[in-house]
Chain A
Amino acid sequence: MRKEFLFAGSGGQGVITASIIFAEAAALKAGYHVVQSQSYGPEARGGSSSASVVLNTIEVGYPKVIQPQVMICLTQEAFDKFSSGIRPGGLLLSDPFYVRRLGRLDARVRLLPMYEAVRDRVGLPITFNVCVLGALVGLVDVVRPEHVKAVISDRVPARFLDPNLQAFEIGLELAAGAKPIPRLRSGPPPSPPDPVGASCDQGCVPPARLDESTGSR
């Protein structure tokens, strides 16, 4: 049962740290065989940044992602670069603060307002990555939240622990309330959504934004 996760964003967002915490919890607490690796290269400094986690119930062979079942894209650039590589029907987690143009993906897309939540409720935007981690843990049934929290406690300096744990809880909360964006299959462009009937609560992108995406991939 090989499962691949891709974490992508920009340098400084903490995507690599999030991937390490997730992978460590899966490896040391949940008992999977896990390999974590990350992009190195000129682009890792300041520009785009990505990390991959592969887990399996048997020894992991090829250590990088081939076609991830789960993708976390935290910038428009990362979304544009990687989203087409997601496994059909896979889960794509993103944040409407950063990603506004969605392609017509054959994927379960969850757009959760994680950045605004940590900015407004925790007051520390730097905890964004841990909130993303919370949402991921809430959406995929791989590691238990308390296991991830134990790893966070090990890795985060004591004085930043509380805001990070709060951010993690917010992520879990957002995941619990997340509504799927209708699965968008590639093919002929969908007919324009009906703005009157479309409601957009937390976790869902306004249909108008989907329109902007035409041709963005």
Chain B
Amino acid sequence: MNEKVRFLQGNEACVEGALYAGLRFFAGYPITPSTELAEGLARRLPPIAGRFIQMEDEIGSLCAVLGASLTGLKAMTATSGPGFSLMQEAIGYGVMAEIPCVIVNVQRGGPSTGQPTHVSQGDVQQARWGTHGDHAIVAFTASNVKDVFRMTVEAFNVSESFRTPVILLLDEVVGHMRERLRIPEEGELPVVERLLTQVPQTVDFHPYLPREDGRLPMAHFGGHHRHNVTGLAHNIWGFPADDPASVDRLMHHLVGKIDNRAMEFAHWVDHQADDAEILLISYGASARSALDVVRRFRERGDRVGLLELQTLWPFPAALVRERCAQARRVAVVEMNMGQICREVQRVAQDPDRVYLVNQVDGRLVGPDTINQALRMIQGRGF
């Protein structure tokens, strides 16, 4: 059998994507429904001189990942809701100290230990605002095994390009379902390598001095350029600084490097969305059910379309605003109490035409539920 075409779970595809992107360090604490990631990497990393560490908890896991990344390795951790909560402090540290890393959260039902084996999309706003302080974050998602692979590679690319933690928000259904995956040849997908400083050893290196294009070259921590890393507000040397000018520059840099590139980070798929009178907006596993509904309505000649989001943060406001303007009604399909719906309502010109179609009982929202909701929205009853 061709080794490059395989039948894999979403979680396994994430492992393959991470390795394709050059992952060499994983620290984590296995938790359902993300366990296959730790399992797969425990097997795959040692033979390629990578490092796998099972840590004492998720706080230690992300801290180990940050440390490994500073020394020059592409690093990742994987968890689910309860572990993601524990990681929030270190996510903020990664944002502040501008350390590239990828954090996979295979979402399950919450809050607290919630429903370990059931699907949910309840961590969307936590990914955005879980860590304290003003900051920007990048979060991707995917609805099928092929896209899990692709978005994992993209997560590493963005994290390396912009020195930022990137969150990959999968869900239990996508993480556990198996589909065909053709693993791309080397070079088929772009892989961004770390931008290293060209400053010679004898010249001072400023780890937090952006180049003209906004990127910050790094030096391997522990290598010949000595520099400081801190969670405190800092200057271009990385040393604590509380003078208003340094803090102001830092804050605008941290938020601007991501929020100013919202459309550059935006990934989405249009499913007959261009002429849709009713536009569905969805992501992850629920987008698959929404796709079935689009097909069902189109067969009858109803102009229903789907905008499937693969980038949740920074929220692709310009894209969503434009698509919403073309549709008469917008229905946001998700498995939470309206975490992306509120973003759509925020950016749509007419928020009263934006409806939430959700299900939060631990089961994947099905086509029939969406169908029923659309009939209500159309004024056709149940």
Contact = CB atoms under 8 A, between A and B. Distances in A.
B79 to A, nearest CB: 17
**Top 7 closest pairs, chain A to chain B, by CB:** A61-B292, A40-B117, A24-B7, A36-B178, A37-B177, A61-B291, A27-B180
A108 interface: no
Interface in B90-142: 117-118
A112 interface: no
A28 B6 CA distance: 7
B180 A34 contact: yes
Contact of A62 (B1, B144, B179, B367): B367
A147 to B, nearest CB: 11
Contacts of A34: 7, 178-180
Contacts of A40: 32-33, 117, 172, 176
A142 interface: no
B199 interface: no
B30 to A, nearest CB: 14
Nearest to A29: B1
Nearest to A58: B295
A72 B149 CA distance: 32
A183 to B, nearest CB: 27
Contacts of B1: 28, 150, 154
A62 B180 contact: no
B117 A35 contact: no
Interface in B156-213: 172-173, 176-180
B323 interface: no
Interface in B348-382: 364, 366-368
Nearest to A59: B291
Interface of B: 1, 5-7, 32-33, 117-118, 144, 172-173, 176-180, 285, 288-292, 295, 364, 366-368
Given A34-B179, A35-B177, A37-B176, A62 B364 contact: yes
Contacts of A61: 288-292, 295, 367
A64 interface: yes
17 contacts: A20-B7, A28-B5, A28-B7, A33-B180, A34-B179, A35-B177, A36-B178, A37-B176, A37-B178, A40-B33, A41-B117, A61-B292, A62-B289, A62-B366, A63-B173, A63-B364, A150-B1
Contacts, number: 70
A27 B7 CA distance: 8
Of listed A37, A44, A63, residue having the most chain B CB within 10 A: A63
A64 B292 CA distance: 12
A66 B293 CA distance: 14
A23 B181 CA distance: 13
A94 to B, nearest CB: 25
Given A40-B176, A44-B117, 18 more contacts: A20-B178, A23-B178, A28-B5, A33-B180, A34-B178, A35-B179, A40-B172, A41-B118, A59-B144, A60-B288, A61-B291, A62-B288, A62-B289, A62-B366, A62-B367, A63-B173, A63-B288, A64-B366
Interface residues of A, number: 24
Interface string A17-31: 000100110011000
Interface in A115-170: 150, 154
B34 to A, nearest CB: 12
Contacts of B366: 62, 64, 66
A193 B135 CA distance: 75
A38 interface: yes
Nearest to A36: B178
Contacts of B292: 61-62
A42 B116 CA distance: 10
Nearest to B1: A154
B180 A37 contact: no
A35 B291 contact: no
Contact of A63 (B7, B285, B290): B285
Contacts of A33: 179-180
Interface in A58-116: 59-64, 66
A150 B364 CA distance: 33
A142 B285 CA distance: 26
Contacts of B179: 27, 33-36
Contacts of B176: 37-38, 40
Contacts of A27: 7, 179-180
B33 A28 contact: no
Contacts of B295: 61
Which residue of B7, B144, B179, B295 has the most chain A CB atoms within 10 A of its CB atom? B7
B180 A64 contact: no
A150 B2 CA distance: 12
Contacts of A59: 144, 291
Contacts of B32: 40
A28 B288 contact: no
B13 to A, nearest CB: 13
Contacts of A63: 173, 177, 285, 288, 364
